[in-house]
Amino acid sequence: MKRQLYANLRRKIVFITLAVAFIPLISLSVIIYYQFAQVFRNKIEEQIEYRARAQGNAIELFLKERTAILLAMADTYTFDYLAGEDNLGKVFQIMNHRVGGFIDLGLIDSSGRHVAYVGPYNLLGLNYYSQPWFGEVESKGVYASDVFTGYRRTPHFIVAVRRQESNRSWILRATIDSDVFESLVRAAQVGKTGDAFIINREGIYQTHLRFDGEILSKSNLNPIIFGEGTTVLEKVNREGRKVLYAGRWLKKNNWLLVISQDASEEMTKLFKTKRMEIIIVVSGCLLIILTTIFTTRLTVSHLEMADRKMNELNAQLVHADKLAALGKMAAGVAHEINNPLAVIAEKTGWMEDLLTEEEFKKSQNFEEYKKSLRKIEEHVERARKVTHGMLGFARRMEPHLEDVDINEILNETVTFLESYARTNNIAIEKELETDLPIIASDHAQLQQVFLNLITNAIDEIGKDGLVYVSSSRINSDIAVSVRDNGQGIPKEYQARVFEPFFTTKPGGKGTGLGLSITHNIVQNMGGTITLESEKGKGTTFTVRLPIVVPEKK
Amino acid sequence: MDEFSVLLVDDEKEFLETLIKRLRKRKLKVTGVTSGEDALRILKETPPDVVVLDVRMEGMDGIQTLREIKKVSPLVEVIMLTGHANLEVAVEGMEVGAFDYLMKPMDIDELLYKLQDAYKRKTIQEQKIKYLEEEKKIPSPLLGEG
């Protein structure tokens, strides 16, 4: 029942402490982690976005440069001049020298016929009229195409410009070197898994991919999901990994430069942080749990101990109350019995007086009468001892403090008992330490204590002997010893002599209350009483009283 | 030993009467009363030599009676009777001027010894006083001349 109560208390304290400790700790670490992850992620996104934008700018510039030099050539030279193979070759040389990155250069008239060509392929004389880009150039004047295979059967893309020369128009067309272009695009790729490529509006790959996916094949990325300018988004790819994509529109929104990056690869550092944080939090929690359990156990066990002590104290108080009540009752009974006893004693005495007269002496039963009267007296004496013991026991339990000189009390008590001792031929010797301090104690109760001890000593001796009373100061105590040279108390009784109603005196001579009262009084004063006894040599009772300095009045 | 008079004061009648008989048998002049008030009355009419006084009585208790007795006639010796070894009362009684005290029920011989001792002290005291008074009565020769 009680155990259950403490277990409950312990559980409650542990639970509350842990809740109070864990809730802020865990929520704080989670919040910090997410904030950190957010910042980290933003940074990664910013980086990839920045790369996409920067590389996009580079590509735009590349294309613009190529277009610009083509335009410049077309503006500078006439159709007739360029139609000359040597001249076209010269121009091609200049262009490659200036900006580079061209594969070939061709001159096409308005009917789509390839008039002049410089380059590795045999394309002279072919007609481009039906090619899609031809129409675009015709209408727009300047055009950079998507990647297509064309007559040469390899994926490539071209830049073409139309020139209006007096009454005829013609087209100067150059093929961009795919290797140069793709290396430019690839410069944007990072890490072990990152990729950089270009798709057109329909999602067709315009460059080679780093891993899988062929040029001119359809990408599974839908370019529509990328917004204007530069956009970053996250998608889960076929293998279930999170991939970050940054897209930047190029070439008047016809091409999309895409930089892909495995999010988890970039996040590795974050995961490390996460792992570290989890380790710290978990070990912190463990530490808190252990400490909480330990301190709670300690606290509750202290509490339990204090409770137990309290209970013991209460039990003692109840016991003391009982004793006090018992004492009061005993006192009442003793007084009521003592008066009739006195009457009986007197009547018996009177009868004995009368027996001394002549007429009774002649009686046959004179001896019987005398013996019976003696017996009555003996038993009155026995009853008297009981009532006196009970009255002593009834004396108030709480000490009443006054200035007390121990030696003075001892002198008084010894004087009081001297005649009683002398009738039994017992001497009382005193050895009292002079200038013992005056202490705050109860004069009457101390008298009772010494009276009991010295009377006991006298009774213990019986006849012919010595009682030795001494007082001394030992550290912060005053010690009073009462020694007799009687028979001594057997070992088996020594522990029990302070119990109430325990007596070794034969035939009801003692009440068994004297030492019990003495013990109670001394204990209530905060002192101790001990005995030493050796069979045949005598007994020494020693009372030790703490020196309590009286308050200054 | 001269015959001397004793006054017993105890509210327990049976006890008182028996004790009176026993003491009279031992050739003492004994009277008995059952209260402190009566004792004081007797004291004024026929002052006894020794008073035996019970501490526990209805009405005026032993200590009060003792104080009154000592006020009226300080030379009367008083022996206290108590129910048990109550040193507080005994010591208080001694301080007020009791000769001694005894515990009830007591031994008749012990009481007799105490009574005789008390009477002895009383006579010595009286003689001392008488002597002092006589000395005062004799006029000093030096004073006579002067």
Summarised one tens digit per residue, pLDDT across range A80-95 is 899 888 899 999 999 9
Confidence band, pLDDT 50/70/90 cuts, at residue A398: very low
Q: Which of A157, A159, A162 is nearest to A139 (CA)?
A: A162
Contacting A residues, span 447-486, partner chain B, CB-CB under 8 Å = 447-448, 451
Whether the CB of B19 is below 8 Å from some CB of chain A: the reply is yes
A222 vs A217: CA distance, rounded Å: 13
pLDDT for A193 equals: 80
Model confidence pLDDT, tens digit, residues A233-291: 888 877 778 888 889 998 888 899 999 888 777 778 788 888 898 999 899 999 999 99
pLDDT for B139 equals: 59
Does residue B65 contact residue B53 with C-beta atoms inside 8 Å? yes
Of A338, A349, A350, the CB nearest to B83: A338
A475 vs A172: CA distance, rounded Å: 124
pLDDT for A507 equals: 54
Enumerate the residues of chain B whose CB falls inside 8 A of the CB of residue A451: 85, 87
Of A349, A384, A448, the CB nearest to B108: A349
Whether the CB of B67 is below 8 Å from some CB of chain A: the reply is no
Please indicate whether, in this complex, the C-beta atoms of A447 and B105 are within 8 angstroms of each other.
Answer: no
| Residue in A with minimal Cα distance to B81 | A342
CA distance A3 to chain B (A): 50
pLDDT for B92 equals: 82
A407 vs A529: CA distance, rounded Å: 18
DSSP state for residue A551 in the 8-state scheme: P
Mean pLDDT within B27-50: 91
Mean pLDDT within A491-498: 79
| Residue in B with minimal Cα distance to A348 | B18
Contacting B residues, span 101-140, partner chain A, CB-CB under 8 Å = 103-106, 108
Token pair, residue B127, equals: 């003689």
pLDDT for B146 equals: 37
A207 C-beta neighbours (distance < 10 Å), count = 23
Number of structural domains in chain B: 1
Residue A498 pLDDT > 90 = no
Give the type of residue at A295: T
pLDDT for B62 equals: 86
> Which is more confident, A18 or A213?
A18
DSSP state for residue A507 in the 8-state scheme: G
Whether the CB of B25 is below 8 Å from some CB of chain A: the reply is yes
A147 vs A204: CA distance, rounded Å: 9
Q: Which of A159, A148, A138, A139 is nearest to A251 (CA)?
A: A159
Instruction: Count Cα atoms within 13 angstroms, Cβ side, for A345.
Output: 21
**3-class secondary structure per residue, A222-270:** CHHHCCCCEEEEEEECCCCCEEEEEEEEECCCCEEEEEEEEHHHHHHHH
Please indicate whether, in this complex, the C-beta atoms of A391 and B83 are within 8 angstroms of each other.
Answer: yes
DSSP state for residue A434 in the 8-state scheme: T
pLDDT for A175 equals: 93
Whether the CB of A384 is below 8 Å from some CB of chain B: the reply is yes
Residue A184 pLDDT > 50 = yes
Beta bridge partners, A144, equal A159
- Tell me which of A235-239, A538-542, B96-100 is least confident: A235-239
> Which is more confident, B142 or A377?
A377
| Residue in B with minimal Cα distance to A449 | B87
Please indicate whether, in this complex, the C-beta atoms of A347 and B56 are within 8 angstroms of each other.
Answer: no
Task: Tell me if residue A419 falls in helix, strand or coil.
Answer: helix
**Substitution target from A337, A346, A408 for chain B, most B beta carbons within 10 A:** A346
DSSP state for residue A218 in the 8-state scheme: B
Mean pLDDT within A422-429: 89
Model confidence pLDDT, tens digit, residues A121-173: 888 888 888 888 888 888 888 998 989 888 888 889 999 999 988 888 899 99
Please indicate whether, in this complex, the C-beta atoms of A347 and B83 are within 8 angstroms of each other.
Answer: no
CA distance B99 to chain A (A): 13
Enumerate the residues of chain B whose CB falls inside 8 A of the CB of residue A344: 105
CA B126 to chain centroid, in Å, comes to 14
CATH of the domain at B48: 3.40.50.2300
CA distance B121 to chain A (A): 18
Confidence band, pLDDT 50/70/90 cuts, at residue A319: low
Please indicate whether, in this complex, the C-beta atoms of B85 and A451 are within 8 angstroms of each other.
Answer: yes
Model confidence pLDDT, tens digit, residues A340-364: 898 999 999 999 888 888 788 888 8
pLDDT for A287 equals: 93
Whether the CB of B59 is below 8 Å from some CB of chain A: the reply is no
The number of residues making up chain B comes to: 146
pLDDT for A171 equals: 92
> What's the mean pLDDT when you consider all of chain A?
85
| Structural domain for B68, as ranges | 5-145
Q: Which of A403, A385, A499 is nearest to A442 (CA)?
A: A403
A21 vs A31: CA distance, rounded Å: 16
Confidence band, pLDDT 50/70/90 cuts, at residue A471: very high
Residue A412 pLDDT > 70 = yes
Enumerate the residues of chain B whose CB falls inside 8 A of the CB of residue A391: 83-86
Whether the CB of A366 is below 8 Å from some CB of chain B: the reply is no
pLDDT for B31 equals: 93
Confidence band, pLDDT 50/70/90 cuts, at residue A552: low
Token pair, residue A448, equals: 């009772």
> Which is more confident, A513 or B96?
B96
pLDDT for A397 equals: 45
Model confidence pLDDT, tens digit, residues A23-57: 998 899 899 989 988 898 888 889 889 999 999 99
pLDDT for A295 equals: 92
**Substitution target from B12, B15, B102 for chain A, most A beta carbons within 10 A:** B15
Say what angle helices A263-355 and B13-25 make with each other, to 10 degrees: 40
Confidence band, pLDDT 50/70/90 cuts, at residue B132: confident
pLDDT for B145 equals: 40
pTM for this prediction:
0.47
Confidence band, pLDDT 50/70/90 cuts, at residue B20: very high
Please indicate whether, in this complex, the C-beta atoms of A416 and B87 are within 8 angstroms of each other.
Answer: yes
Of B85, B90, B105, the CB nearest to A341: B105
Model confidence pLDDT, tens digit, residues A194-206: 889 999 888 899 8
Q: May I ask the CATH architecture of the domain A400-546?
A: 2-Layer Sandwich (3.30)
